[in-house]
Amino acid sequence: MKKEINILAIESSCDDTSAAVISDGYLLSNVVAGQKVHESYGGVVPELASRAHQQNIIPVVHEALKQSGIDKKDLSAIAFTRGPGLMGSLMVGTSFAKGFALSLDIPLIDVNHLQAHILAHFIKTKEEGAKVPEFPFICLLVSGGNSQIVLVKNPDEMEIIGQTIDDAAGEAFDKCAKVMGLPYPGGPIIDRLSKEGNHKAFTLAKPNIADYNYSFSGLKTSFLYLLRDELKKDPNFIENNKNDLCASLQYTIIEILMSKLRKAVKDLNIKHVAVAGGVSANSGLRNAFEDYAQRYKWNIYIPKFSYTTDNGAMVAMAGYFKYLKGEFCSIDLPPYSRVEM
Ligand code: KG4
């Protein structure tokens, strides 16, 4: 009888410790432990993140295996996020994956975190299928650390055709939230408050840069200056206008993201368009995708909420694709912090 392909995947690139088990391409479990320790700092503190990963990794892996019903002796391989991400965080997941694979005498699979976000569209369970994008497709990858337009030719052939030259979209959400006194991560809070606000209340700067690249630093500065000037006139300006500020900010970020994406879709004449990464949880961005699908006849692919932010399931999916091609890595492969694809 053919043996099942069972892969345990580990994700630890930033501030979520996650493990997942996939069997013959079907996800069996996906356990994510977030880290509350960063909330009061207004952003992820790398040293605290790696320490929390060390505390979380064993219980998270244990729980993922338990929920999957797969015994560790029946694992075929271990996949892990190799990068990009925070070096200290990556070291924890990478070292754990290596030690575990060595002790079980099974192969290791290194996974690119950004590719994994994109391949989250292929995650399926026995109960629920996936609306799988057709190749080639264009993916808007927007997270706390990255904002890119990626041409996806195959599961293992992706080309970054545009990217941010400064801040990522998620960073713009989080940093602007911070100056309004909102806790980290600010993206989901801005999303919620925006629903009650007027997006036309304030006009914010939009960048004018070449090709399919993004920039969010000008927007961030214009938001900061708006607050500085208005607070001089009214010390309660933020409190009195919070919903409108959030709605205007969110609207501008989405406009910036969608205008470059539309240009890429038009120029490349590829009508299969996906969105991935933490910011793809944003309701305004999801609505904009639906709207563009109607207006420009795009076939759109929006991930399930649970697969938008960092998770082991997407690493498991990417690992499974690599397993099928026999792409394993050596035990001495180091993690990397900067964008590679
Ligand atoms: O992909 P992710 O979990 O981590 C990285 O790999 O960076 O993305 C986290 C980012 C944060 O910046 C967070 O504020 C943002 O995704 N985010 C959102 C929403 N949910 C998460 N931004 C806007 N609206 C949301 N609903």
Expressed in angstroms and rounded, the spacing between residue 255 Cα and the centre of ligand 1 is 17
Rounded Cα gap, residues 104 and 96, in angstroms: 12
3-state secondary structure of 188: helix
Is residue 164 within 8 A of residue 148, CB to CB? The reply is: yes
Q: How far is CA 29 from CA 34, 60, 222, 232, in A?
A: 16, 11, 44, 52
Expressed in angstroms and rounded, the spacing between residue 267 Cα and the centre of ligand 1 is 28
Expressed in angstroms and rounded, the spacing between residue 192 Cα and the centre of ligand 1 is 13
Q: Which residues of the chain have pLDDT under 50?
A: none
**CA angle (286, 289, 290) in 5-degree steps:** 90
Rounded Cα gap, residues 160 and 339, in angstroms: 10
pLDDT given at position 90: 98
Say how far residue 31 (Cα) sits from the centre of its chain. 16
Query: Which residue has a Cα nearest atom 11 of ligand 1?
Result: 144
Expressed in angstroms and rounded, the spacing between residue 18 Cα and the centre of ligand 1 is 16
Q: Which of 173, 191, 305 to mutate to test ligand 1, by most ligand atoms within 8 A of the CB atom? A: 173
What is the dihedral angle through the alpha carbons of 173, 174, 179, 182, rounded to the nearest 10 degrees? 110
Ligand 1 within 6 A of CB of 14: yes
pLDDT given at position 145: 86
pLDDT given at position 111: 98
Expressed in angstroms and rounded, the spacing between residue 186 Cα and the centre of ligand 1 is 8
DSSP codes of every residue in 108-146? EEEEEHHHHHHHGGG-B-SS----PPPSSEEEEEE-SS-
Give per-residue pLDDT as tens, 253-281: 999 999 999 999 999 999 999 999 999 99
Which numbered atom of ligand 1 lies nearest the CA of 113? 6
pLDDT given at position 168: 94
Q: Which of 176, 309, 314 to mutate to test ligand 1, by most ligand atoms within 8 A of the CB atom? A: 309
Query: Which residue has a Cα nearest atom 14 of ligand 1?
Result: 187
pLDDT given at position 105: 98
Ligand 1 within 6 A of CB of 155: no
Expressed in angstroms and rounded, the spacing between residue 137 Cα and the centre of ligand 1 is 22
